Amino acid sequence: MIKFRLERSPAAVWSKALIPVVAVLVTFIITSIFIILAGANPFAAYYNFIIVPLSTKFSALEVLVKATPLIFTGIAVTFAFAAGYYNIGAEGQLYAGAVAAAWVGATFTNLPPIAVVPLMLVLGFLGGVLWALIPALLKVKLKVDEVVTTLLMNSIIMYIISALLNGPWRDPETGWPKSPEFFEAARFIQLIPRSRLHLGFVIALVVVIIVYLIIKRTPLGLQMRAVGASKAGAQFAGINVNRTMLIAALVSGGIAGLAGVSEIAGIHYHLISELSGGYGYTGIIVATLGGLNPIGATIAALFIGLIDTGAQTVSRVLGVPVYLGDVVQSTLLLITLGMLLFQNYRIKRI
């Protein structure tokens, strides 16, 4: 019988750049099978997936709209993962930020935009921090696995939102479970007339730059990367591992909270329980595809925004299920993770 084993052997640097390209190609080949099963031509499908959305101004801007929350959540996850804190709770932290924004946007009716928007961002950030606080404290004080606790917190916030929307915030006239409408000053400005692209996209890019600088250029960032790569090594060098993880966890929650602010103030103008649709979880995909690099995560978010937009086109034009977009995303993630293995290992026949 032929046996194989994995051997540690770092790959050349140039191959790292090749990983996304090869991953996309392999994903194309694998998902083609599903597209054929759905009764469509894979080349036509990919033309609609990737080329069509970029060929008109309206749909190209829509890609940016779809990418905006993913940039936030992708950066949030990147920030925590970089320090070795596995925050799976960006979804819940996003909603916590949205709750704060929903309150500000419907309460301070007398404030001008220049005051209310920063207030909303600050409180939204703090909402995310608050929602990240309990699992983070459990992690550093009692070593409770954050993967479990951050995930559970996601369910808890959904019940709180359900209680809010069916209780105090229920629309008194229609009875719909949605929060009171934002007044005009609290709504993010549109960047381009007659498109949905809003201020949130710009804020997202600013966050990308700030996070990039923190991770790569500040003492905190170096400490975070050290803790993320080796807790034992970081501890030996005198870094306060728990403090570093705590900061990473809380800032990560805050950034995810901003995703909630951006979605509610930029798109919906009121809180509904379907605000996110899994942006927090997709953020994990985005962060991983981006190689835990803020710039990489941004590119990954844009790519997934494109696939999301394209999936609707494919579905409309070729009559295949819109879920093919999810299949493409998930396949891409699995292929990329598999390929990341080959950065440090290679298969050897024994």
Residues near other proteins, by CB under 8 A = 10, 213, 217-219, 221-223, 225-226, 229-230, 232-240
Minimum distance from residue 32 beta carbon to other proteins (Å): 36
Structure tokens at 25: 């190609």
The span from the CA of 132 to the CA of 127, in Å, is 9
In the complex with other proteins, the residue whose CB is nearer, 61 or 214, is 214
Minimum distance from residue 213 beta carbon to other proteins (Å): 8
In the complex with other proteins, the residue whose CB is nearer, 244 or 309, is 244
In the complex with other proteins, the residue whose CB is nearer, 84 or 254, is 84
Minimum distance from residue 71 beta carbon to other proteins (Å): 24
Minimum distance from residue 241 beta carbon to other proteins (Å): 10
In the complex with other proteins, the residue whose CB is nearer, 240 or 312, is 240
In the complex with other proteins, the residue whose CB is nearer, 243 or 316, is 243
Minimum distance from residue 91 beta carbon to other proteins (Å): 28
Cβ burial, residue 117 (10 Å; 0-12/13-18/19+): buried
Minimum distance from residue 230 beta carbon to other proteins (Å): 5
In the complex with other proteins, the residue whose CB is nearer, 64 or 248, is 248
In the complex with other proteins, the residue whose CB is nearer, 213 or 322, is 213
Minimum distance from residue 118 beta carbon to other proteins (Å): 22
